[in-house]
A and B are shown apart, each in its own frame.
Chain A
Amino acid sequence: MIPIENFLVLSSILFSIGIYGVLARRNAVLIIMSVELMLQAVSINFIAFAVYLYPEQFTGLIFAIFVITIAAAEVGLALGIILRIFRNKGTSNVDEVDMLKW
């Protein structure tokens, strides 16, 4: 069986890639995708802990389902707002969205 450490390392790598993407990407859609990576890292953590350490209860798995569901709602809203900005300004680059000082 694969040891739990592998999953935790995978999740921390995913989480770091997500943070890097959030800081380095300038396109709002790509930033949202990076946030999704961070959330998937969280889900992997929850599922790994639940399966390896606490196999007798479902709490961790349920938490992962909640994370996935609510992340979907958030992305839907984010795309809506990005569309609105695109119609106003013709760009989804966060550097060019600068009416307020960033």
Chain B
Amino acid sequence: MDSVNRFGPELILLAMAAVIILADIGWALAGTGAERMRRPALGALALTGTAASIIWSALLIAFDEQGEAFSGMIRVDDFALFFNFLFAGTAAIVILASIDFLRRNRFVAEYYALILASTAGMMLLASTIDLIAIFVALELTGISLYILVAFMKDGRSSEAGLKYLLLGAISSAVALYGMAYLFGITGSTSLDEIGLVVSEANGETRSALVLAMVFLIAGFGFKMAIVPFQMWVPDVYEGAPTPVTAFLSVGSKAAGFAVVMRIFLTALGDGSISSDWATVFAILAAISMSLGNITALVQGNIKRMLGYSSIAQAGTFLIGLAVVAAADPQLLLGTSAVLFFLGTYAFTNLGAFIAVIAISSKIGSDQIADYAGVAKRSPLLALGLTICLLSLTGIPPTAGFIAKVYVFNAAVQADLVWLAIVGVLNSVVAAYYYLRVVLNMYTAEPASEESIQPGYYLGLAMVVAVVGLLVIGIFPSPLLEASEAAARVFG
């Protein structure tokens, strides 16, 4: 029973996904009379599922019900619970933002069910400690997301879906090849046992371990969307339905970082190998930040711009991972910096994408040029988007400022001063294209005077995101403590 209990947050999401599909069949049988209630009811069911998942995770903490489940496949600890809250919260906000978006779509039930299934997959990615389970969770997340990206059935959405699927399949094959070598060297698929064997490894197996490490970085780099595994990001972000883009940019990326931290800190955390991957991550961090920001400068489409900006942000997270290789205090500092940054980034990016959903659905365009004068047509939306963009830039009093200070501080303390300098320079570059959107919204003349009114649900989601990032920006200590507690798992 313990196993099922600890698996609860994921289980309830999967159960709710099944309930939603069955309820939809029920509605089809009930005839057209009940049709009016179908969409709100299905949305409510999906939200109930995420809420129940959050409550279950909270109960696991309250009753101190932590430990392993399913004979060492899953470990529910502070790290896994941190991500449970992050993913369930993200899913809830995305579902809220999708309700208006799905007004004209027939397949509402499938959409919600897939969101819940991929959320469960992401939670599993953060809690699994066995390579087989990691692979299954990776594909559960991935396959659900491929369908969601291709959901709109028009040319652009299918094209984005095909690109995402092809590159996703290649990347999981590459990661699997690395896992195969890891299994061959150590004879186990459990991360703890692999870590034990790796720490006793001698010079002979080292080259094979480095090979496995490179394959794993290449495979999971796709999920994290870091350079040079970022080719899919702008196309998929542009073509996918915008709520799905928001989900991808926050959920999928955070899941990638969660599983990389699990694998690299547990299985490959030994000093002889960790300095190697830390160097790789430091270089990739610098390239991701620079390339992401410079390419974002010339983008005309706001979804593409946010896509490139998310590549740059992923580079900033990677600084935290690069810091980890040094001694113990840095391990804590680096991992907790990544976790804290992921927490703030979730609010920030969700807020930005929700504003884009609200504005673009009204003006019928994703072009930054068409955002001219939005502040006159909808002052509150423009203010919300401005706050989110300021947070992405890293300007106080928003959450993004604290997160950047935390990460750069970690880099300086680990003697990676050059990386911190690259990061700060990139923040300056980033400010240019983020503030360009803000300027355009406030100073340019609007094309029409018609006001933009987001729907009730969309407005609520926006308020949650913006209030969240301001609260974290002013009172960062609860999230800081939570991320430090989660990072201590690897201590």
Residue numbers of A with Cβ under 8 A of B are: 15, 18, 22, 28, 31-32, 35, 38-39, 41-42, 45-46, 48-49, 53-54, 57, 59-60, 62-63, 66-67, 70, 73-74, 77-78, 81-82, 84-85, 88-89, 94, 97, 99-102
In contact, B158 and A31 (Cβ under 8 angstroms): no
Please classify the interface of chain A as helix (H, G, I), strand (E, B), loop, or mixed, using the class held by over half of its residues.
helix
Contact B143 A77 (CB under 8 A): yes
Once A45-B181, A70-B136, A74-B139 are accepted as A-B contacts, the answer to whether A81 and B189 lie under 8 Å apart by CB is no
What 10 additional pairs, Cβ within 8 angstroms, besides A22-B170, A35-B166, A81-B146?
A22-B166, A35-B170, A41-B177, A45-B181, A63-B189, A70-B136, A81-B150, A97-B162, A100-B156, A100-B239
Name the A residues within 8 Å of B155 (CB-CB).
Answer: 85, 88-89, 99
Q: Which of B143, B235, B239 contacts A74 (CB 8 A)?
A: B143
Interface residues on B, range: 35 or more
For residue B4, CB closer than 8 A to chain A, the reply is: no
Q: Whose C-beta in chain A lies nearest to the C-beta of B131?
A: A63
Shortest Cβ distance from B150 into A: residue: A81
Interfacial chain B residues near A28, Cβ < 8 Å: 162, 166
Q: Is B234 an interface residue (CB 8 A)?
A: yes
Chain B nearest CB, measured from A69 CB (Å): 9
Selected A-B contacts with CB under 8 Å, 16 pairs: A32-B166, A38-B177, A42-B176, A42-B179, A46-B180, A49-B184, A59-B189, A63-B180, A77-B146, A78-B166, A81-B158, A81-B165, A99-B155, A99-B239, A100-B160, A101-B235
Report B94 CB to chain A, min CB distance, Å: 21
Known: A38-B170, A59-B188, A63-B189. A78 touches B165 (CB 8 A): yes
Query: Could you tell me if A66 and B166 are in contact, using CB atoms closer than 8 angstroms?
Result: no
Residues of B within 8 A of A (CB): 131-132, 135-136, 139, 143, 146-147, 150, 153-156, 158-163, 165-166, 169-170, 173-174, 176-177, 179-181, 183-184, 187-189, 234-235, 238-239
Contact among B150, B162, B183 with A46 in the assembled complex (CB-CB below 8 Å) = B183
Tell me if B177 and A74 are in contact (CB < 8 A). Answer: no
Q: Kindly identify which residue among A15, A60, A66 contacts B177, using a CB–CB cutoff of 8 Å.
A: A15
In whole angstroms, what is the CA distance A42 to B179 when docked? 9
Known contacts A38-B173, A45-B181, A74-B143; decide if A88 and B158 are in contact (CB<8 Å). yes
Interface SS of chain B: helix, strand, loop or mixed?
helix
- Docked pose: A88 CA to B170 CA in angstroms: 25
Among candidates A18, A42, A88, residue contacting B180 with C-beta atoms closer than 8 Å: A42
In the complex the two chains form, is B187's CB within 8 Å of A54's CB? yes
Whose C-beta in chain A lies nearest to the C-beta of B136?
A66
Q: Does A70 lie within 8 Å of B166, measured CB to CB?
A: no
Taking a contact as CB atoms under 8 Å apart, the answer to whether B159 and A82 are in contact is: no
Report the separation of the CA atoms of residues A28 and B159 in the bound assembly, to the nearest whole angstrom. Answer: 11
Contact A78 B135 (CB under 8 A): no
When distances are taken between beta carbons in the complex, the residues of chain A under 8 Å from B131 are 63
Least distance between B138 CB and chain A CB atoms (Å): 9
* Residues in A neighbouring B154, C-beta threshold 8 A: 88
Complex: how many Å from CA A31 to CA B166? 8
* Complex-state Cα separation, A84 to B154, whole angstroms: 9
> A39 is contacted by which of B143, B173, B181, B234 (Cβ under 8 Å)?
B173
Of the listed residues B150, B160, B176, B180, the one surrounded by the most CB atoms of chain A closer than 10 A to its CB is B180
Q: How far is the CA of A13 from the CA of B124 in the complex (A)?
A: 33
| Chain B residues, CB < 8 A from A67 | 135, 176
A89 / chain B contacts, CB cutoff of 8 Å: 155
Give chain B residues whose Cβ lies under 8 Å from the Cβ of A101.
234-235
